[in-house]
Structure 1
Amino acid sequence: MALRFPNDYRRVEQWLVFSKFWWLYDASHQTPMAIVRRVKPVLEGKHKPLYFKNSDVGDHVVIYNTKWLAFRGEGWRERYYYHHTGYPKGMSFTPAWMLHEKDSTEIVRKVIYASMSKNIHRRSNMTRLHLYPELKDVPSKIMENIAGQLKQYMPVAKGLQDYSQNEIENFPKIWDMPPDYLEK
């Protein structure tokens, strides 16, 4: 009986490695390259123990809130994205802000596609990427499959509107404003 346990364990371990998990990622207030750093290894399967270059063991990734992307500095105006129709003189460069207005998921798709390993699995890896502008747009059939959530690369601080009135009033104050103080 003791000899069966390692075989059963190996079978379960192998099933977990080759099965396709569904991961959820919140892209709000993240730069496109920060999204790539978290999502690309999962799509390619590099987070699994049996990864090798020609293996197709990547997982599905559902990215939501692509509507709330962030760029550093003047990135919205200075960053351009390339597109070619395939016809002569069909090359075009679109600024990030214009591409984001047309389709808020396209910037993330282009950045992840450009950063993927250029091998035979590139397109099949991209089919496992699911992009949505907001969480409410994700279909319920996909939400049923979600197995885990990927941590955001850049933590987002809470805004003042995210705190309750009780938390604001109980926050330690360095100085209390006198009641007769007039603001100009």
Structure 2
Amino acid sequence: MDNISTVEKKYNKWIIILSILIPLTVAALFGVNLKRLGFDVQPLTFLPPIYASVNGLTAVILIAALWAIKNKKVTLHEKLMKTAILCSVVFLIMYVAYHMTSDSTKFGGEGTIRYVYYFILITHIVLSIVVIPFVLITYVRALAQRFDKHRKMARITFPIWLYVAISGVLVYLMISPYYA
């Protein structure tokens, strides 16, 4: 086993904390509906197409970042990856805000499309949790300038993150006809 750099050691606790705290916080807040708790809030029903678009933008940015690094445009790659992380954070904030102010929408499709929808939804949710530590570890390895380890981890992180971004858009497109 190789030595872990000082930078990686510095961030390892944060990676663990955030990898646990983010999904738990989202799950807890997902179950909180401010309107049902008596708060006078307007449902943020305009958010789903926006946060779905942010997911789509994240996918485009990830692909652009891959292109940038393949073409040795390291600074561009770094900026794009930071932007992709920011987009994911913005998505998460809007997603939680929507679900805290609005009732969940039930998927109304029937037959095979219902199974397809739930397969995409479940894999999207599971992988969106799994990808958090992968993104953080990959990012910290780049910060630590351990690019061999960064590349190795990015080969796993990239397809998972891209799937999460694209499947988020698909879930929105499939459920959007059923929004009230």
Structure 1 length-normalised TM: 0.23
Structure 2 length-normalised TM: 0.23
Q: Which has the higher strand share?
A: 1
Q: Which of structures 1 and 2 has the bigger CA Rg?
A: 1
| Larger RCO (CA within 8 A; separation ≥ 6) | 2
Q: Which has the higher helix share?
A: 2
